[in-house]
Chain A
Amino acid sequence: MPQWTRTIDRASAAAAAVRPHKRAKWNRTEFWMLLPSMIVLALISIFPFFFMIYASLMDYSLSLDEPVFAGLDNWRRILTSETFWHSWGRTAVFGVSGLVLQLAVGVLVALLMYYIPKGRNLILTLWMLPLFVAPVVAGLLWKYLLDPTYGLYDWVLKQFGLNTQILGDVSTAMPAIILMDIWEWTPLITLIVLAGLQSVPTEPLEAAEVDGASGLQKIRYILLPMVRRMIVVSLLIRSMDILRYVDTITITTEGGPADSTKTIGYYLMQVAFRFQDMGTAAALGLTMLVVTIIMGNFFVKIMKKGED
């Protein structure tokens, strides 16, 4: 084992030895301080959650006066419906390709910035600006850029002789949506990973230098392993967010053309507010919640691991 991997072990052992917070005893004051939040949180999360389970078992249309018990009808309907599986499929395509690409670009840019001798702060500031753009504005903006008559990017593509109907074509609409997501959220990954890189102790890097490790070896064996937690955290946050937002799709493609950008979230909005079928929508919502809760648990585990 080369000298410098041993140095890493020592560094992480030292980090682990940092004393966790000493805690005063749990008492009444804390209970009363936490209570209002818990009540509000229960009102806006637990109660709706059970309400959703109830609604998923009802024939619940906004036009009906009273919901009627329907047993597992809604569940049977969604689980056997092609659209349900299709939209989870589109969600998976959107999520996986979006995440893989923004992870690759985000980490690459973070590494490049890490090695920049001058102007890192300014470049990072400019790079993160898309993060502050509201998703609905991002949608509008990209719709404008890609507009077949007036769009700037569309005009550029035309100069290369490409015939363009990007958001109106089944084969290019999803890639365009993915591109928008990459544009807006890659900086988040860069930001988190760069913060990790900057906290890597210099000692193992210097030891590696002495041992004659090349730049790429240092990245592969020291830098990347030490920011692994940051990468996992940013991936988890991004994957929950991809399920979370439907703004961009609502503004740009409305799930089309031919359902090619109909993700599960957009499908839910359609079932609930266009078809007014609240029972089915509730069942769809529960499938989304289950996925989020699993990811949330995973997130908390990673957080705790970082604290010990």
Chain B
Amino acid sequence: MALKRKTLYTALYILMLAAMVWALMPIVWMVLSSVKTQVNMFSMPPKFFFTPTFITYREMFGEGGNFGEFLSNSVIVSLATTVLSVVLGLMGGFALARGNFKRENNISSWIISTRMAPIPAVILPLYLMFAKAGLIGTTVGLIFAYTTFNLPFALWMMATFFKDVPVDLEEAAMIDGCSKFEAFRRIAVPTAAPGIVATAILCLMFSWNDFAFASVFSGRGTQTVPVAASLLISQHGIQWGQAMATGTIIIMPMVICGLAVRKYLVRGLSMGAVK
């Protein structure tokens, strides 16, 4: 019996190892390729051991490279939409969690459908509206566009977090003379703080990773990093070295953010359905 168990566990770990290779090999290969010279990059058979060089990164950020601009565009847009969505979502989510109103199910379905709406179907009317309003190619337009998925997400998540905050505390504060809004600000918000931070980080991740909206709505000077990545593909071929370096730059902060909110990841990715 003990022997059988041991074989089972060995098989289990071998399977897990295979799964890890499958999941991680592309990422490892991307990071490795980003620190290769052209020669090493295109040598066959593929090279796993070589002297790393940061020449690709230096080209991208150095003179003549405008990568810094893409980076700052990405940061500005992601932060702005996150702040906007979380502030509105905080108040709205609290109201959704505490209020008792008719058609609550309809409002919930509306919010979730907005969050999950196919991006092409959202881009189209926004494009026509933005064209009329002169918002194409502007940072403001892109911030609004990202809010189409971040606000419903923040609303929904904050509602599930506030539902976890016991209402008794707020009621006690209100008996002591606090207004409902004060009870929200002084009691509910601090109690739900970890959830608020997690929601904000997830909003950041969604907007940082977006490509479809940015490719349609951003113009010269407002393009984000994922758009920069796509620009490396041209009719004359693909600059693989820079593409892999750009990819590495895009995913590194997301891995850090994602692991930082690991505890809330399941909740965020399942839209609060699984806690």
> Using a CB–CB distance below 8 Å, which chain A residues touch chain B?
21-27, 29-31, 33-34, 36-38, 40-41, 44-45, 47-49, 51-52, 55, 60, 109, 112-113, 115-117, 123, 125-138, 140-145, 147, 149-150, 152, 155, 183, 187-188, 191-192, 195-196, 229-230, 233-234, 237, 240-241, 243-247, 250-251, 265-266, 268-269, 272-273, 278, 281-282, 284-286, 288-289, 292-293, 295-297, 299-300, 302-304, 306
CB pair A26 B101 closer than 8 Å: yes
Give the distance in Å from the alpha carbon of A135 to the alpha carbon of B125 in the complex.
23
Main secondary structure, interface of A, reads helix
Kindly provide the distance from the CB of B49 to the nearest chain A CB, expressed in whole angstroms: 14
Chain A residues, Cβ within 8 Å of B96: 34
Chain A residues with CB under 8 Å of B111's CB are 41
Count of inter-chain pairs, beta carbons less than 8 A: 305
Could you tell me if A152 and B98 are in contact, using CB atoms closer than 8 angstroms? no
Further contacts, 4 of them, CB under 8 A, given A109-B19, A303-B272? A45-B117, A47-B125, A145-B26, A268-B124
Cα A10 to Cα B18 in complex, Å, equals 39
B161 within 8 Å of A by Cβ?
no
Assess whether A245 is in contact with B119, with CB atoms less than 8 Å apart. yes
Q: Which 9 pairs, one residue from A and one from B, show the smallest C-beta to C-beta distance?
A: A37-B92, A48-B125, A285-B121, A134-B209, A136-B211, A30-B95, A30-B99, A34-B95, A296-B113
Inter-chain contacts of A286 with B (CB < 8 A): 121
Q: Which residues on B are within 8 Å of A, measured CB to CB? A: 9, 12-13, 15-16, 19-20, 22-27, 29-30, 33, 41-42, 44-46, 88-89, 91-92, 94-101, 105, 108-114, 116-129, 144, 147-148, 151-152, 155, 163, 167-168, 170-171, 179-181, 184, 205, 208-212, 215-216, 226, 229-230, 232-233, 238, 240, 243-244, 246-247, 250-251, 254-255, 257-259, 262, 265-266, 269-275
Bound Cα distance A306, B274 (Å): 9
Task: Find out whether the CB atom of B226 lies under 8 angstroms from the CB atom of A48.
Answer: no
A285 to B247, CA, bound (A): 30
The answer to whether A123 touches B99, judged by C-beta atoms less than 8 angstroms apart, is no
**Cβ of A136 and Cβ of B230 under 8 Å apart?**
yes
- A–B Cβ pairs within 8 angstroms, 26 of them: A21-B167, A25-B100, A30-B99, A31-B95, A33-B91, A33-B95, A37-B88, A45-B122, A51-B128, A109-B19, A112-B15, A115-B12, A126-B23, A127-B20, A133-B247, A141-B247, A144-B30, A195-B274, A230-B270, A230-B274, A233-B273, A244-B119, A269-B123, A285-B120, A296-B113, A303-B273
Contact status B117-A117, CB under 8 Å: no
Q: Which residues on the A side are within 8 Å of B15 (C-beta)? A: 112
B13 surroundings in chain A (CB, below 8 A): 116
The answer to whether B124 and A52 touch across the interface, beta carbons within 8 angstroms, is yes
Q: A150 touching B125 by the CB < 8 A rule? A: no
In the complex, A155→B272 CA distance in Å?
42
State A234–B258 Cα separation when bound (angstroms).
18
B29 to chain A, nearest CB (A): 6
In the complex, the answer to whether A133 meets B124 with C-beta atoms within 8 Å is no
A155 touches B44 (CB 8 A): yes
**Interface residue from A33, A36, A141, A292 paired with B26 (Cβ < 8 Å):** A141
Whether B274 and A134, one on each chain, are in contact in the complex, defined by CB atoms closer than 8 angstroms, is: no
- B128, B152, B246, B259: which contacts A278 (Cβ < 8 A)? B128
B30 proximity list for chain A (CB < 8 A): 137, 141, 144
Cross-interface CB contact of B273 among A268, A293, A299, cutoff 8 Å: A299
Give min CB distance, A122 to chain B, whole Å.
10
Cross-chain contact A237 with B270 (CB below 8 angstroms)? yes
B120:A269 contact, CB within 8 angstroms: yes
Which chain A residues border B105 with CB–CB below 8 Å? 300, 304
B46 cross-chain contacts in A, Cβ below 8 A: 152, 155
Question: In this complex, which of A37, A127, A128, A299 has the most chain B Cβ atoms within 10 angstroms of its Cβ?
Answer: A37
**B274 contact from A33, A196, A265, A300, Cβ within 8 A:** A196
Shortest distance in angstroms between B81's beta carbon and chain A's nearest beta carbon?
A: 11
A residues in contact with B113, CB < 8 Å = 289, 292-293, 296-297
Q: Are A49 and B120 in contact (CB under 8 A)?
A: no
**Given contacts A134-B211, A187-B23, A292-B117, are A273 and B258 in contact (CB under 8 A)?**
no
Question: Given A24-B171, A26-B99, A233-B274: A268 and B121 within 8 A (CB)?
Answer: yes
Chain A residues with CB under 8 Å of B94's CB are 30, 33
Chain A residue with the shortest CB-CB distance to B257: A132
Say whether A137 contacts B16, CB under 8 Å: no
Known: A48-B125, A150-B240, A292-B113. A126 touches B95 (CB 8 A): no
A184 to B17, CA, bound (A): 17
Q: How far is it, in angstroms, between the C-alpha of A26 and the C-alpha of B91 when the chains are bound?
A: 14
**Cβ–Cβ < 8 Å partners of A152 in chain B:** 25, 29, 46
A132-B251, A183-B26 in contact; A112/B42 too (CB < 8 A)? no
A135 to B167: give the CA distance in the assembly, Å.
40
Instruction: Let me know if B100 and A23 touch, CB within 8 A.
Output: yes
CA distance A293 to B12 in the complex (A): 41
Partner of B124, one of A27, A126, A285, A299: A285
A296 CB, min distance to chain B CBs, angstroms: 4
For the complex, what is the distance from the CA of A295 to the CA of B113, rounded to whole Å? 8
> Which residues of B lie under 8 Å from residue A281 when comparing CB positions?
124
Contacts of A144 in B (CB 8 A): 29-30, 33, 238, 240, 243-244
